[in-house]
């Protein structure tokens, strides 16, 4: 049993798993992905999912999906559903192993009772504020709670009454009796249970005491027979507590291993902050194409393959770093370059009349669907007297090195003919509103028999045949590489890019796109990759620009003179 690709260097988690199998510490591999259903999954979760499900698969093991639903106040069914949808979309399957920490509430309660009986847990009447005060700091030891030495009988009675609902929220907690002087603050008599009179999305009103993450997580891992509990680095300081509970309970003991979480430049990946973006309407929802959520990326046009490739390339490390978002975009371009059909769409149209074609003339030209994939075949496009081209492909006074259309200049229309501009028609304000051109019938297909060359090929659509569309151009949601880099008194919202969405209406796309399905992705030649938005169901064809064709990552790589790198150290 080894990871499938023998040429890949093995990261430290895979190495640890191999070691554990060799030493027979475990004889199988069983991991889990444990999201809290308090928000939508984001690209950071995708990294964790690829690690959890990926490693299990490579070692012929299993991976559970377990909702860590121990806080009824923040958790919702909407999130439970979106999380499942997103993991499936990403390409992973938990089969029949869908679990909830709340499935174990009764068992966890029994574990707590066991610890009370063993003199390892006690009911504490200190308020949350007092608990914090008694906890001490990194430099000062904590003080013992005056309730620390209650008898087991008294603790059992009080804990049962906590469960029975006799006490108000916050009035008491159940705490582990460990060490108030420990150098690790997590071991200073951590809270195991708190009182919350709230309705839980699954257990309804059955409970008013809820276990803390630290008491629920390891025990849930143990119940499910998890071998390797893989989580991000912020849980490293919790590992001694994870181990302490399992040892104190003398139950099956999984192994927790931590890896660096994903940080992406110009992006926030905290659910709390993403929730703020949604609630305060800086974006249109969790699936806004500017969001780093999996649902946002999907709507934007990201493929699961591109995201998995990204997660593969960034690898698994023990130290935190910031990955350049340009790498994520690069992975998408690579994937779509292979797969996306090419089409022509004009985003900012300029009317072109071919004067030497008769009114009503229509002919068909042949276009290649994907030069990267011969099997994708060809299609025909109508070519006629009135066309649209991109405004930007014409300059009345072309600057040096501008090779596209200008008065008297000739260019190639992709898959069609050479055309030459004879006149630019202007409106009263002096703006160019139409070009009068001639075409050369001998250049059909794009080459001149006399060997004459043109320096530019531009895209176009036939005006009478084209389909109207709306196009949404997205830019980074945050202007700063580190959105948290703000002056005192401001927060990450101050770094928002006010121009992260540019809406273009009155665009024209080739006629074949009249009937397209939401989620389909095309390359608009010369412009980028565009994904059909679900809003198209409302009558107006809407496209999201997933990514432009300009590859910043390739530039970065070239500048660094190296192979695709994982990331930069923060």
Q: Which is nearer to ligand ATP, 231 or 411 (CB)?
A: 231
The rounded distance, in Å, linking the Cα atoms of 448 and 440 is 8
Q: CA nearest 66: which of 101, 29, 31?
A: 101
36 contacts ligand ATP (rule: CB under 6 A): yes
313 contacts ligand ATP (rule: CB under 6 A): no
Q: Which is nearer to ligand ATP, 36 or 470 (CB)?
A: 36
Q: Angle, nearest 10°, between helix axes 43-58 and 12-22?
A: 30
269 contacts ligand ATP (rule: CB under 6 A): yes
Least separation in angstroms between residue 471's CB and Mg ion is 37
Within residues 22-51, the interface with Mg ion by CB under 5 A covers: 36
254 contacts ligand ATP (rule: CB under 6 A): no
Within residues 40-79, the interface with ligand ATP by CB under 6 A covers: 44-45, 47-48, 68
Q: Which is nearer to ligand ATP, 32 or 414 (CB)?
A: 32
Q: Which stretch in 21-29, 117-125, 266-274, 414-422 sits in contact with ligand ATP by CB under 6 A?
A: 266-274
Q: CA nearest 249: which of 423, 391, 112?
A: 112
The residue at minimum Cβ distance from ligand ATP is 44
255 contacts ligand ATP (rule: CB under 6 A): no
Structure-token pair, residue 217: 């997580």
Q: Which stretch in 30-38, 177-185, 218-226, 326-334 sits in contact with ligand ATP by CB under 6 A?
A: 30-38
Measured in degrees and rounded to the nearest 5, phi and psi for residue 211 equal -70, 150
232 contacts ligand ATP (rule: CB under 6 A): yes
448 contacts ligand ATP (rule: CB under 6 A): no
User: According to CB under 6 A, which one of 90, 249, 262, 437 is a site residue for ligand ATP?
Assistant: 262
438 contacts ligand ATP (rule: CB under 6 A): no
Least separation in angstroms between residue 231's CB and Mg ion is 9
User: According to CB under 6 A, which one of 271, 342, 476, 545 is a site residue for ligand ATP?
Assistant: 271
201 contacts ligand ATP (rule: CB under 6 A): no
- 280 in Cβ contact with 272 (< 8 Å): no
> What number of chain residues touch ligand ATP (CB under 6 A)?
15
Least separation in angstroms between residue 261's CB and ligand ATP is 3
Q: CA nearest 52: which of 227, 177, 204, 284?
A: 227
Q: Which is nearer to Mg ion, 39 or 349 (CB)?
A: 39
194 binds, among ligand ATP, Mg ion, none (CB under 5 to 8 A by kind): none
31: which strand partners?
A: 63
| Residue 43: Cβ-neighbour burial (10 angstroms; 0-12, 13-18, 19+) | buried
The rounded distance, in Å, linking the Cα atoms of 377 and 205 is 60
Q: Which residues are catalytic?
A: 36, 261, 271
- Report strand pairing: 173-176 vs 349-354: unpaired
The rounded distance, in Å, linking the Cα atoms of 310 and 303 is 11
For 212-245, letters b (16+ CB in 10 Å) and e give: bebbbbbbbbbbbebbbbbbbeebeebbebbebb
Structure-token pair, residue 532: 């059909």
For 144-181, letters b (16+ CB in 10 Å) and e give: ebebeebebeebeebbeebbeeebeeeebbbbbbbebe
Q: Which residues bind Mg ion (CB under 5 A)?
A: 36
Q: Which residues bind ligand ATP (CB under 6 A)?
A: 34-36, 44-45, 47-48, 68, 231-232, 261-262, 269-271
């Amino acid at each position: 049993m080894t990871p499938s690709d023998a040429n890949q260097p093995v990261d430290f988690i895979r190495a640890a798993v191999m070691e554990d199998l060799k030493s027979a510490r475990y004889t199988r591999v069983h991991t889990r992905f444990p999201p809290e259903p308090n928000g939508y999954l984001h690209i950071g979760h995708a990294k964790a999912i690829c690690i959890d499900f990926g490693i299990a698969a490579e070692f012929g093991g299993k991976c559970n999906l377990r909702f860590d639903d121990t806080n009824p106040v923040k958790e919702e069914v909407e999130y439970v559903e979106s999380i499942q949808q997103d993991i499936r979309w990403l390409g992973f399957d938990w089969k029949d192993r869908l679990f909830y920490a709340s499935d174990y509430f009764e068992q966890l309660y029994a574990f707590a009772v066991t610890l009370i009986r063993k003199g390892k847990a006690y009911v504490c009447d200190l308020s949350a504020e007092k608990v914090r005060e008694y906890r001490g700091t990194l430099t000062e030891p904590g003080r013992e709670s005056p309730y620390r030495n209650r008898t087991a009988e008294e603790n059992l009675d009080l804990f049962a009454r906590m469960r029975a609902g006799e006490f108000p929220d916050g009035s008491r907690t159940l705490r582990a009796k460990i060490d108030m002087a420990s150098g690790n603050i997590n071991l200073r008599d951590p809270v195991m249970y708190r009182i919350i009179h709230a309705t839980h999305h699954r257990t309804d009103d059955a409970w008013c005491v809820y276990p803390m993450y630290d008491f629920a997580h390891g025990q849930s891992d143990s119940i499910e027979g998890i071998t390797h509990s893989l989580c991000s680095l912020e849980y490293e300081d919790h590992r001694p507590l994870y181990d302490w509970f399992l040892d104190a309970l003398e139950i099956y003991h999984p192994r927790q291993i931590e890896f660096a979480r994903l940080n992406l430049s110009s992006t926030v990946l905290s659910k709390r902050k993403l929730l703020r973006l949604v609630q305060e309407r800086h974006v249109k929802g969790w699936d806004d194409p500017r969001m780093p959520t999996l649902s946002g990326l999907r709507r934007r046009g990201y493929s699961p393959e591109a995201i998995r490739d990204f997660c593969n390339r960034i690898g698994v490390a023990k130290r935190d770093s910031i990955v350049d978002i340009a790498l994520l975009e690069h992975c998408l371009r690579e994937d779509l370059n292979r797969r996306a059909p090419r089409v022509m769409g004009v985003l900012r149209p300029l009317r072109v009349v071919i004067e030497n074609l008769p009114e009503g003339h229509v002919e068909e030209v042949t276009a290649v669907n994907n030069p990267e994939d011969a099997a994708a075949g060809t299609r025909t496009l109508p070519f006629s007297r009135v066309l649209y081209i991109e405004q930007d492909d014409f300059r009345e006074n072309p600057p040096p090195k501008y090779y596209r259309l200008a008065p008297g200049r000739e260019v190639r229309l992709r898959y069609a003919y050479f055309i030459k501009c004879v006149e630019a028609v202007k409106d009263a304000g002096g703006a160019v509103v139409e070009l009068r051109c001639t075409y050369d019938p001998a250049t059909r297909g794009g080459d001149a028999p006399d060997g004459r060359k043109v320096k530019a090929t531009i895209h176009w659509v036939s005006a009478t045949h084209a389909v109207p569309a709306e196009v949404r151009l997205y830019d980074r949601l945050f202007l700063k590489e580190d959105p948290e880099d703000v002056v005192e008194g401001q927060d990450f919202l101050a770094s928002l890019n006010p121009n992260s969405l540019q809406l273009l209406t009155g665009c024209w796309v080739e006629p074949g796109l009249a009937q397209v399905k939401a989620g389909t992705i095309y390359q608009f030649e010369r412009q980028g990759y565009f994904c059909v938005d679900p809003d198209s169901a409302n009558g107006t064809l809407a496209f999201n620009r997933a990514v432009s064709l300009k590859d910043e990552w390739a530039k970065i790589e070239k500048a660094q003179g190296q192979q695709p790198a994982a990331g930069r150290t923060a």
